[in-house]
Amino acid sequence: MIKAGIIGGAGYTAGELIRLLVNHPEVEISFVHSTSNAGKNLYEVHEGLLGDTALKFCESFSLEDIDVLFLCSAHGASREFWQTHTCPKRLRVIDLAQDYRDESEGYVYGLPEWQRDRIRCARKIANPGCFATAIQLALLPLAAAGLLQGDVNITAITGSTGAGVKPGASTHFSWRNNNVSTYKVFEHQHLIEIRRNLSLLQPGLDAALNFVPMRGDFARGIFACITLDSPLDEREARQLYEDYYKDAAFTFVYAGSVDLKQVVNTNKCIVSVEKHSGKLVINSVIDNLLKGASGQAVQNMNLLFALKENAGLKLKASAF
């Protein structure tokens, strides 16, 4: 059994990660660290775990006794963690924060549809951001073919869990319910990793990435809609995507319209490709807590330990 440890165990992504690992056939959770919740049962914070595990949050732990460490703390906390801890040579690390998504300090960017072979050989993985995952999976085939030209217009809406577990003015129910808003227009932090990676696939990329993020009045999921000029007709574009993702374990090209209920509670990304009035229209849907965070982290762990890529991730969409 793979022994796993989790740092920063109280948030939404950690809760989903625990749910996945508790039910993973090849994993045993050794510890879940949370200074503020030390001594509490996991289910006292993550109530859906009641009856699934008797583990308690801990304050002290040993990195020598585990095989893989998941870092689930806030952005910036991962670098702080390694300032006071030493990483054993045999330990695999999967960081769910944005600290190492530039692939600094030996980290590999963990988007399996793009870097599966590098991930398999890595020791440290930087898990992608949720918006970044949905948007890159919508654009990777075009970038790989050198076909990102001119403006790339992106509108993507996310559920309230994307803002984290700590309540804020734009996350509490009375504001979010029956409401939609934009934020960080053209300035979202995930644009950094998106542009970096697309430029690696398509050197010399000078296309504008016009990203308008939106807050939705639902809990989980991301729906991204992207429009751009393209010389491809609809049949050619769909074939390009089908060829690119033919070996992908969780990304599927769909000929019909897509919606969030096809993917919520799964590690899937579903992409649709259409042509309208000379514009290519690409829709991409994911669960922000699974394919956009914890599910992708487990997918990366499976690759690191030479397991089946879908181990522990055969989840049914909560379509109703």
Cα-to-chain-centroid distance, residue 28? 22
Q: How far apart, in whole angstroms, are the C-alpha atoms of residue 224 and residue 212?
A: 10
2-127+293-304 in CATH: which number? Answer: 3.40.50.720
Share of the chain above pLDDT 70, in %: 100
Pick the CATH number of 130-286 from 3.30.70.930, 3.30.70.250, 3.30.70.270, 3.30.360.10: 3.30.360.10
The 3-state secondary structure of the chain, one letter per residue: CEEEEEECCCCHHHHHHHHHHHCCCCEEEEEEECCCCCCCEHHHHCHHHCCCCCCEEECCCCHHHCCEEEECCCCCHHHHHHHHCCCCCCCEEEECCCCCCCCHHHEEECCHHHHHHHHHCCCEEECCCHHHHHHHHHHHHHHHCCCCCCCEEEEEEECHHHHCCCCCCCCCHHHHCCCCEECCCCCCCHHHHHHHHHHHHCCCCCCCEEEEEEECCCCCCEEEEEEEECCCCHHHHHHHHHHHCCCCCCEEEECCCCCHHHCCCCCCEEEEEEEECCEEEEEEEECCCCCCCHHHHHHHHHHHCCCCCCCCCCCCCCCC
Of 75-89, 134-148, 163-177, 217-231, the least confident: 163-177
Write the burial class of residue 41 (CB in 10 Å: 0-12 exposed, 13-18 middle, 19+ buried). middle
pLDDT at 229: 96
pLDDT at 71: 98
Kindly state the average pLDDT of the residues 196-206. Answer: 96
pLDDT at 221: 97
Kindly state the average pLDDT of the residues 213-233. Answer: 96
CB neighbour list of residue 16: distance below 8 Å, 6 or more residues apart: 289, 290, 293, 294, 295
For this structure, is 130 an active site residue? Answer: yes
Of 5-14, 166-175, 196-205, the least confident: 166-175
As beta bridge partners, residue 154 has 211, 226
Q: How far apart, in whole angstroms, are the C-alpha atoms of residue 191 and residue 221?
A: 19
- The residue annotated as part of the active site, out of 58, 72, 87, 130, is 130
pLDDT at 172: 79
The count of other CB atoms within 10 Å of the CB of residue 266 is 20
Q: Which of 187, 191, 162, 153 is nearest to 280 (CA)?
A: 153
Please state the domain extents for the chain: 2-127+293-304, 130-286
Q: How confident is the model at residue 100 (pLDDT cuts 50, 70, 90)?
A: very high
Q: How confident is the model at residue 132 (pLDDT cuts 50, 70, 90)?
A: very high
Q: How confident is the model at residue 123 (pLDDT cuts 50, 70, 90)?
A: very high
pLDDT at 129: 95
CB 198 within 8 A of CB 128: no
Q: Which of 278, 123, 152, 137 is nearest to 211 (CA)?
A: 152
CB 197 within 8 A of CB 111: yes
Q: How confident is the model at residue 164 (pLDDT cuts 50, 70, 90)?
A: confident
Q: How far apart, in whole angstroms, are the C-alpha atoms of residue 317 and residue 320?
A: 9
pLDDT at 126: 98
Q: How confident is the model at residue 174 (pLDDT cuts 50, 70, 90)?
A: confident
